[in-house]
Structure 1
Amino acid sequence: MSSRRPLRWLALSSLFVATPALAQTGSIGEQRAIEMAMTDNPSLRAALIDVRQADQQVLSAEGTFVPILALDFGYTHTESPRASSTGEITKSQSDNWGAGAELRHTFPWGTQLTLRMEGNRTTSRVPVTSVAAQTATLGPTYGLTGRVSVVHPLLRGSGTTIGEAAIRQARLSRSVSERSRDQAASQLMRDVLVAYWELWYSDRATDIEKQARKLAAQQRDYTERRIKSGDLAPVDLLTFETRLSQLDESVAVAESSRRQKAVELSRLLGKDDPAGAISTSADAPPADLAAPVSLGAAQQAAMAQSPDIKQAEAQVTQARDKVKTAGENERARLDLEGYVQGDSLAYREVAPVASRFATEPAVSAHVGLIFELPLSGQTRTADRRAAELAVDSAQARLDSTRQSVRAQVTKAMVDVDTAKRRVELAEKTVKVAEQQVKAQEQRYASGEGIPLEVQQAEDSLRQARLSAERARVDRAQAVLTLEHLTGRLLSRYANTLSLPEGPRRDSAYLALRRPGPF
């Protein structure tokens, strides 16, 4: 894996400390919102924990081929009864003290090598005659044994494909966890930014409704003064009172919607903000977000870089690797085994044991085959078929993910083009509506117009402004969706975060440091 630096929020997330309340957060920008989500969102923390868990599983699997040292020490007392020709029963006794050291190692290709050294001290007491209860003590006798044993599989468990299966699976599981983490991070970024701009729109919509309400109140007060001066009939005031009540309701609805959007954004940030105190500091949705030049370029980028597709591809790779070892435990076993052993003895002296073992040991050797065959292949066949079906299932999910991503890219491209056109048309509509309001106000002031015409013009202006803001937000959200689908969202925000040196540079986001395809 290429060397790369971990993101700051990835390092901070290892602390796993979430702030429960959104105290004194106030107004935040989109960059700050991303940083807060990357540090405190519990769903992303869970994905990061999964990667750390997978790292430990890899370390555990890699420890499979570490040599094992075994030490043993023991004492054995043995009594053996004997029957004489006269029917008398006598017993011989022996006492044995033994100590041994053994070093075992299994190689990736399946060979097991064992080195063992064993020493013992034995004393025996045997009857001298079968008549008298007299015994003779023999020893102590000192012995030293050394053995080198080798077992090599010829069928079951033979080769690195089988021997290293646990390591490969652990690494592939880590890759799946990393892809899941990337997908979770990209999806979280997209959701946070969408929620951020939804809150921004709710703020703007609330402001527009309040401005309309303020203007309606001013018109109501102006009409009331004209009624008092005798210029208008009292019935004219009812139109403005009705309009003011309608706008009061619109303001209440806008404020309620704004609070809901604030609570949703706070949830994504990993905060608790039931009062909806959080607000946005951006002046307008970013207009410099670049969409792909064509639908073909967008789909090509998505097929190569989409976090969803990469996650599904990693799952297919993992499933295919499992096929290599499926049913291996039910395969016929044929092991070649052998050992060479040296022994030496000394009577009542310890020193000669080692010298005799080195110069004139009693050598034993053995070579043989061990064959084992299950009498039914049902289990192995079923295991292999299940593994193959798992590959088919993973491949089908990958195909479905690719199809879904292509459809989402197409829809997002349509949304981008439509929103761009809507922004242009809404801005023109706002200009025309502003002129219409001025014209109707002048006509009403001169006595040629009626209050309803003024209200209709103001409604048109309010709706035009809301439509313009909605179109800007929709375009930004569509581009953000495209960036998520094509993997560019991770790269864009990774490049804006400060990246400290970390102890595990090889476990950071490779995708975050990769240039985009368009």
Structure 2
Amino acid sequence: MRSLTPALPLFILALTATANGEDSTDDGLRLTLSAEELLEQRPFARNEVAEESLSLEEAVARALEGNRGLRAERLQTAIAGTFEVQERAVFDPALFADIDIYRDRETDESEGFTRDSFFSERRGQVGLQQSLPTGTDLTLSVRSSRANSSFQDQSEYTTRAGLSLTQALLRGGRIESNLVRLRQASLDVEASEYEVRGFVEQLITDVESRYWDLVLADEQIAIFEEALAVASQQLDETERRIRAGDRPETEAVSARAEMALRRQGLIDARSERALAQDALARLLQGDGDLWDTRLEARSEPDLQRYHLEPLDTYVALARDHRADLNETRLRVQRDELEVIRTRNGLLPRLDFFVTVGQSGYAETFGQTFRASQGDGYDLAAGLRFDMPIGNRAAEAQHTRARLTRLQIQETLANIEQLAIEDVRARWFDAARIREQIQAQKETVELQEELLRVEQTRFRVGAGTALAVSQAQRDLLESRLNLTETVVRFRQLSTELLNASGTLLLHRGIDAPGAERVEIRL
């Protein structure tokens, strides 16, 4: 609640100047200004180069288009998508090639003479290899060589075409374990979409909250300006009565103090408006500059458009639609996949391999493709086995994966409880404030009537200026409380929709992550 206690130094200065019958201090600073002069003073005015009027919907749309934080958040989904492409590329075919040259020269000086001999070979290979999700590795290659030696008059060419297949039988032999990395990367992309959705919901909540702060600041300024004008009229009337001899001179003290209080409140209200505008401008501006633009809010907090559904409705919606809950459910699925991957690592490696090929020999490279072995071929097949003794590393990885899965499951349950608490707290707060609005409206009406009574009593000489000032102060406080309550209810309505995960649905904004995530494998 706003404190209306006067600042002691200002009150003492005003009292001293009045008691001495002076309107200024020794240095010429005036302490008693008219209401018109006080209203014209704007200590927090900025050199604004433009003015822009915004509705609430326009402010939200502008934030979604230009907010720098949202731009950065959107890039996270694209970054996560690159990891999915990277994992998918594991199963892409790859082209390989290599070439090498070998040369051997020997000198034999035995039996009384020297003899030189040499052997050289040039070899090249080109092929295609691919790994399949079934745990199968395929390699298709063509290898060619040319050999020269001192024992042959002509070069000898050899070409071999072959196919190799390796099939994992135990470790790496199941499709679900081989696709774990790809499925995890896909879940990361989906989780990033829920992160963006949660960021957008919070951004809209912040924009609407700052927008209503600006509306509240404008309303407060208007209330204080009106109250200052009323206090000025009361002071004028009091001074006329003092000059007429109907009132003692001390009656003017309370009236002047009341004007000082109104001026204090007006200064604070203008300062709060400057802060509220900067907070809203930061959320809205993208490549432009809104710091020196005066933003005017033209939407009003129409309470008839917003009503509270039953508490259970918001709780049920939160379980299905909250972005943080759905993102955590995706993390649970990711850790379940990690258990599958590490369980596969507990198995020994047992691979079956087979290699089949056919070679051709000739005196030229081109003839090697036509000069084959006929029905002849080369074939190799077998099994390879590999098992670390103890397999402690794989055991540790699998244990860690299982513990992490339990941890994320407990985290999910905790987040769900926190979400329900968040929804219930905001619902109770909104319901309380909604009930207070009508009561505060009645309070304002009664305070207005009380002020009229005190003013009437003062005019007929039965009341005092102090009683009128107190009534004015009570009316001002009740009007400020009503304005703050109305705006706060409007803000809580948005916060409640955000807490239930349905803010984007109510605002008609389409974004990924609107459906509940079901934990599945």
Counterpart position of 1:345 = 361
Change (3 A) 1:139 1:382: same
Counterpart position of 2:250 = 235
Letter in 2 for 1:511: A
Distance 1:374 1:484 in 2: 53
The answer (yes or no) to whether the contact 1:208–1:462 under 8 Å persists in 2 is: yes
Counterpart position of 1:280 = 297
The answer (yes or no) to whether the contact 2:50–2:292 under 8 Å persists in 1 is: no
Counterpart position of 2:10 = none
Letter in 2 for 1:118: R
Q: How does 1:477-516 map to 2 (within 5 A)?
A: 477-495=491-509, 508-511=511-514
Tell me how far 1:355 sits from its aligned partner. Answer: 2.0
Counterpart position of 1:502 = none
Match of 1:325 among 341, 345, 348: 341
Distance 2:227 2:81 in 1: 58
Match of 2:101 among 70, 75, 96: 75
What 5-or-longer segments of structure 2 have no aligned partner? 1-47, 517-521
1:162 is the counterpart of 2:165: no
Letter in 2 for 1:281: R
Q: Which moved more, 1:410-419 or 1:24-33?
A: 24-33
Distance 2:302 2:212 in 1: 7
Distance 1:23 1:406 in 2: 46
Change (3 A) 1:228 1:28: same
1:37 is the counterpart of 2:37: no
Tell me how far 1:40 sits from its aligned partner. Answer: 3.0
| 1:355-381 CA distance string (max 9 Å, x none) | 233x71641101111111111322112
Change (3 A) 1:80 1:369: farther
Count of residues in correspondence between the two structures: 468
Change (3 A) 1:297 1:62: same
1:336 is the counterpart of 2:339: no
Distance 1:345 1:158 in 2: 38
TM-score by length of 1: 0.84
Letter in 1 for 2:59: A
Distance 2:375 2:502 in 1: 72
| 1:44-101 CA distance string (max 9 Å, x none) | 22221111101122122222211111123343323356686x4977443223233322
Change (3 A) 1:29 1:512: farther
Distance 1:88 1:376 in 2: 63
Q: Which moved more, 1:275-284 or 1:433-442?
A: 275-284
Counterpart position of 1:370 = 384
The answer (yes or no) to whether the contact 1:183–1:311 under 8 Å persists in 2 is: no
SS for the counterpart of 1:385 is helix
Counterpart position of 1:410 = 424
SS for the counterpart of 2:301 is coil
Tell me how far 1:458 sits from its aligned partner. Answer: 1.7
Q: How does 1:71-470 map to 2 (within 5 A)?
A: 71-80=97-106, 86=111, 90-126=115-151, 137-270=152-285, 277-292=294-309, 294-326=310-342, 328=344, 331-346=347-362, 348-357=363-372, 360=374, 362-470=376-484
SS for the counterpart of 2:150 is strand
SS for the counterpart of 2:305 is coil
| 1:309-328 CA distance string (max 9 Å, x none) | 11222222222221211265
What 5-or-longer segments of structure 1 have no aligned partner? 1-21, 127-136, 500-507, 514-518
Distance 2:112 2:463 in 1: 141
SS for the counterpart of 2:377 is strand
Letter in 2 for 1:149: S
The answer (yes or no) to whether the contact 2:220–2:269 under 8 Å persists in 1 is: yes
Distance 2:122 2:457 in 1: 119
The answer (yes or no) to whether the contact 1:111–1:153 under 8 Å persists in 2 is: yes
SS for the counterpart of 2:155 is strand
Change (3 A) 1:87 1:45: farther
Letter in 1 for 2:223: I
The answer (yes or no) to whether the contact 1:186–1:489 under 8 Å persists in 2 is: yes
The answer (yes or no) to whether the contact 2:147–2:157 under 8 Å persists in 1 is: yes
Q: Which moved more, 1:326-335 or 1:176-185?
A: 326-335
Letter in 2 for 1:59: V
In angstroms, what is the RMSD of aligned CA positions?
2.6
SS for the counterpart of 1:232 is coil
Letter in 2 for 1:238: V
The answer (yes or no) to whether the contact 1:197–1:285 under 8 Å persists in 2 is: no
Q: How does 1:48-63 map to 2 (within 5 A)?
A: 48-63=74-89
Letter in 2 for 1:278: L
Change (3 A) 1:510 1:283: same
Tell me how far 1:329 sits from its aligned partner. Answer: 5.1
Distance 2:343 2:116 in 1: 54
Counterpart position of 2:72 = 46
Change (3 A) 1:210 1:82: farther
Distance 1:25 1:354 in 2: 82
SS for the counterpart of 1:360 is coil
Distance 1:23 1:403 in 2: 49
Letter in 2 for 1:452: L
The answer (yes or no) to whether the contact 2:96–2:126 under 8 Å persists in 1 is: yes
| 1:264-320 CA distance string (max 9 Å, x none) | 22333356666684342223355312432x111111111111122112222222222
The answer (yes or no) to whether the contact 1:340–1:363 under 8 Å persists in 2 is: yes
Letter in 1 for 2:452: K
TM-score by length of 2: 0.83
Change (3 A) 1:275 1:351: closer
Q: Identity, % of aligned pairs?
A: 23
The answer (yes or no) to whether the contact 1:179–1:314 under 8 Å persists in 2 is: no
